[in-house]
Amino acid sequence: MNLKFTFFLLLGFLMKGDLFAQSDSLQHPPSSTSKMVLEKDISDLLRGSGKKEKHKILDPNDTSDDRTKKQFSFIPAAGYSLQTGFAGILSANLAYSNDTASDQKLSSISTSVTYTEYNQTLVPLTINIWTKNNKYNIISDNRYIDYPSNIYGVGGRTDPNKGHQIAFYAVKLHETILKSVAKNFYVGAGFYLDKFWGITVLDSVTRRLNNIINRQLKSTEIASSVVLKALYDNRLNQINAKNGWFVNTVYRDSRTFLGSDNDWQSLLIDVRKYLPFPSHSKNTLALWSFNWLTIGGTPPYLLMPSTGWDDQYNTGRGYIQGRFRGNNMFYFESEYRFNISRNGFLGGVVFGNLQYFTPEISQQFQVLSPGYGGGLRLKLNKHSGANLCIDYGFGKDGSRGFFVNLGEVF
């Protein structure tokens, strides 16, 4: 999980191979006369080495084993957020290529363990593997959470002062396999299982209100689904893209004969575009359209489209997780990423987003909910391009707070 928390202490260190995994420079291939590039990341600073370590941008014609060396990052950290209070996290990431070809996509395996002030426990394991020649893409998203959190009702006009805290346990097992059918285009299928149990209301509420909440939330919610997926992805580095397109479409069909509480269907359309701006610079303009639609039946309350409950928990910077919820979610975000230091260690971003929800399929959109802010980027691994992202966001009705990710928001 990319836990969003206020960064106040980083005890990070990186354990890396001698050579280099695929770098984002592969997306801007240099000429054979390119100069050596000086870059630094957190491990360079923690080592306190006065030696100016240089590493060469990988030549796209290089067929050595350099590209397949594994890069391991380990980050212990602590923080704070609206939904977690103070939190401690241990996070590890492995990045590598399965081929020496210049267009081989970067594979990664990430996991972490988080424990928070509010007795929340979060343990994800996410795997994104690209086989040789990018023939297959294997995606595995597995999470266990013990997670008291807030709910505010359905629709975009809910009152931020009338939320209620609930507690639950959950397991998420999302497995898909995609096959290449054209250059950078993949289709495939998978199986999604989401189970929530031990769902209880923690607030002291009236019996009438408790009955209303219990009608929306059962003590257990299960969704078991067949998934069809189509993906176009011409980014070379999924950890920190500098240019290219990402278009992901997921049709989910939950059925009672598979173990679901009821029959329902959803459609996810996730589109991202990255481009250098200005052209030929290292700065990036990133655009994100995220549309999460219920096209049949009624999903369990905790699986309805909601702020911050996308797969990476990253939508809606400026708002607490779960602030808005509805049958349909339409979301757009733009972010401008730029270097602050010449050595690439420190960068910055400014961002803005809009989200709106429908409580029922037939009703018109309720209200636009904007968010905006800025932040810093600290280079965790100069070879894979992984950053620590520290943002401060604002929303409507006085909503504001820090949002921190290990890896880019999108």
Helix (H) or strand (E) holding 221: strand 220-233
The predicted structure's pLDDT at residue 206:
58
Q: Which CATH architecture has domain 6-406?
A: Beta Barrel (2.40)
Q: What is the pLDDT of residue 37?
A: 53
Give the residue among 13, 61, 19 at the shortest CA–CA distance from 384: 19
Q: pLDDT higher for 132 or 17? A: 132
Q: Give whole-number Cα distances, 213 to 147, 151, 208, 391, in Å.
A: 17, 10, 9, 33
Report pLDDT digits (tens) over 36-84. 557 888 777 777 654 544 444 434 444 455 566 777 777 787 766 667 7
Q: Which residues of 204-230 are buried (b: 16+ CB within 10 A; e: fewer)?
A: eeeeeeeeebeeebeeebbbbbebebe
| Residue with more model confidence, 228 or 33 | 228
Please tell me which residue, 210 or 44, carries the higher pLDDT value: 44
Of 33-37, 144-148, 305-309, least confident by mean pLDDT is 33-37
Q: How far apart are CA 335 and CA 351, in angstroms?
A: 4
Looking at residue 239, what is its pLDDT? 81
The reported pLDDT for the residue numbered 253 is 98
Q: Are 129 and 107 within 8 A, CB to CB? A: yes
Fill in the DSSP letter of residue 17. Answer: -
The more confident residue out of 18 and 80 is 80
Two tokens, residue 80: 């704070």
255: helix, strand or coil: coil
Tell whether the torsion through CA atoms of 81, 310, 246 and 177 is positive or negative: positive
Q: Please provide the average confidence, as pLDDT, over all residues in the chain.
A: 81
Domain ranges of the chain: 6-406
CB 354 within 8 A of CB 332: yes
SS3 of 121-133 = EEEEEEEEEECHH
Report field, pTM of the whole predicted structure over 0.85 = no
Mean pLDDT throughout 374-391?
Answer: 86
β-sheet bridge partners, residue 10: 77
**Residue 269: band (very low, low, confident or very high) from pLDDT cuts 50, 70, 90:** very high
Look at residue 365 in the predicted model and tell me its pLDDT: 52
Helix, strand, coil shares of the chain as percentages rounded to 5?
10, 55, 40
Average pLDDT value for residue range 103-107? 83
